Amino acid sequence: MTRNKIALIGGGQIGGILALIAAQKELGDVVVVDIPDIEGKVKGKALDIMEARPHDGWDINLEGSSDYSQIEGSDVVIITAGVPRKPGMTREDLLDVNLKIITNVANNVKKYAPDSFVIVVTNPLDAIVYTFYKISGFLKNRVVGMAGALDTGRFRAFIAMETGLSVKDVSCVVLGGHGPTMVPLPRLATVGGVPIDRLLSQEQIDAIVDRTRKAGTEIVKLLANGSAYFSPAVAIMQMAEAYLKDKKRVIPSAALCEGEYGIDGYFIGVPAVIGGGGVEKILEVELTDEEKEMLNNTLNVVKKTVEETGV
Ligand code: A3D
């Protein structure tokens, strides 16, 4: 039996944590690819984690490189290559610069890892994952965007913080694009099966929904020189692990909708079944008229950004 191989394209803030989590969970050998200027840094991060392995006995190998041929044979490719937000920026402000980067990355992934499962993270997420899909020509089940996992994790965290109950028992879902128009669904949120409106007032729930929508920006403001990286990295590795271990987890993800939720031809956050077949299925829930309107609103924002990509 050979080990799985995980390629991390982009070895910045998120990429470094991804490498550490992959090692801690022994998910597979890791290669981190970044631009030539940053090669020393990613080699350094890989070597640093190589030297951390003996303490807990993580038997995997890590390498840093600026040579895309190193990703050959990867089972999973995770793309964080690009520029993050700074205070005052929207995710859409990153489009021009990150579009150039994703074009280059997509061509290399297509060339060297054509059979991989690809998780795109670079912002603006819904438009960048669409661009990757178009340029790579990958099948739709092999390309997914990570955003819903993070947004839902934030929603869960805030519910746990407000109720004082375990994060483990909070279950909920956030639909839509990765931005302030995202659609958290408090109607479906529960703690241990108990609907949250039995545990929290409407005012508290409204505040949690609002904080979830703005959670990324809250962290960008606090960090002052980049965006969140711990919670995105953990969320991403849940998706990678679901694929590598065929767990068939239901994880809100930016998946290509072809009729689901009345959406056709766009990647947007929906509950996706992730297993050995990649995105195996999109699960649909009945939405209220108000929720449908919110989903339509967030779809229009995604459509506008996708149009701007010109792909
Ligand atoms: P950062 O620490 O700047 O790392 C990005 C890395 O990408 C840097 O090391 C760059 O050198 C590298 N890079 C640039 N061009 C290329 C290229 N052509 N090939 C390989 N590597 C390249 O950023 P970060 O890790 O904090 O964030 C990475 C991306 O994820 C940004 O676009 C963020 O906006 C985005 N992000 C998305 C979410 C979502 O939930 C969707 C959350 C957090 C961050």
pLDDT-based confidence at 1, cuts 50/70/90?
confident
Residue closest via CA to ligand 1's atom 22 equals: 81
Of 154, 219, 227, best ligand 1 pocket probe by most atoms within 8 Å of the beta carbon: 227
Q: Is the CB of 11 under 6 A from ligand 1?
A: yes
DSSP 165: -
CATH of range 5-145; options 3.30.450.20, 3.30.365.10, 3.20.20.70, 3.40.50.720? 3.40.50.720
Query: Are β-strands 76-79 and 62-65 bridged in parallel, bridged antiparallel, or unpaired?
Result: unpaired
The rounded Å distance from CA 61 to ligand 1 centre is 23
Of 121, 131, 154, 178, best ligand 1 pocket probe by most atoms within 8 Å of the beta carbon: 121
Mean pLDDT (the chain) is 97
Question: For residue 26, what pLDDT is reported?
Answer: 98
Question: For residue 89, what pLDDT is reported?
Answer: 93
Q: Is the CB of 254 under 6 A from ligand 1?
A: no
Question: For residue 216, what pLDDT is reported?
Answer: 97
**Do residues 141 and 118 make contact, with C-beta atoms less than 8 angstroms apart?**
no
Residues 3-32 have a mean pLDDT of 98
Distance (Å, whole) CA 149 – CA 302: 18
Distance (Å, whole) CA 31 – CA 24: 15
51 C-beta neighbours (distance < 10 Å), count: 10
pTM: 0.98
Enter the CATH code of domain 148-309.
3.90.110.10
Beta-carbon contacts of 280 under 8 Å, excluding residues fewer than 6 positions away, are 141, 248, 272, 273, 274
Q: Is the CB of 148 under 6 A from ligand 1?
A: no
Burial of 145-176, coded b for 16+ CB within 10 Å and e otherwise, reads bbbbbbbbbbbbbbbbebbebeeeebbbbbbb
The rounded Å distance from CA 275 to ligand 1 centre is 25
pLDDT at 299 over 90: yes
Distance (Å, whole) CA 106 – CA 118: 10
Q: Is the CB of 219 under 6 A from ligand 1?
A: no
Question: For residue 31, what pLDDT is reported?
Answer: 98
Q: Is the CB of 108 under 6 A from ligand 1?
A: no
Question: For residue 30, what pLDDT is reported?
Answer: 98
Give the Å distances, CA to CA, from 228 to 114, 151, 223, 234: 30, 12, 8, 11
**3-class DSSP state of 147:** coil
How many helices (H) does the chain have, and how many strands (E)? 9, 14
Distance of alpha carbon 32 from its chain centroid, rounded? 17
Residue closest via CA to ligand 1's atom 4 equals: 12
Question: For residue 125, what pLDDT is reported?
Answer: 97
Residues 256-269 have a mean pLDDT of 98
Q: Is the CB of 125 under 6 A from ligand 1?
A: yes
Q: Is the CB of 178 under 6 A from ligand 1?
A: yes
Residue closest via CA to ligand 1's atom 42 equals: 232
Percent of the chain residues past pLDDT 90, beyond the cut: 99
* Residue tagged active-site, from 178, 184, 205, 220: 178
**Do residues 133 and 140 make contact, with C-beta atoms less than 8 angstroms apart?**
yes
Residue closest via CA to ligand 1's atom 9 equals: 12
All CATH 3.90.110.10 domain ranges of the chain, comma separated, are 148-309
Active site residue 178: yes
Distance of alpha carbon 73 from its chain centroid, rounded? 22
Taking each helix axis from N to C end, the angle separating 289-309 and 125-136, rounded to the nearest 10 degrees, works out to 60
Q: What is the pLDDT of residues 269-292, one digit of tens each?
A: 999 999 999 999 999 999 999 999
Residue with tokens 């953990």: 234
Question: For residue 250, what pLDDT is reported?
Answer: 98
Q: Is the CB of 101 under 6 A from ligand 1?
A: yes
Q: What is the pLDDT of residues 168-205, one digit of tens each?
A: 999 999 999 999 999 999 999 999 999 999 999 999 99
Distance (Å, whole) CA 186 – CA 172: 7
Q: Which two tokens stand for residue 45?
A: 């991060």
Cis peptide before 124 (omega within 30 of 0): yes
All CATH 3.40.50.720 domain ranges of the chain, comma separated, are 5-145
Question: For residue 267, what pLDDT is reported?
Answer: 98
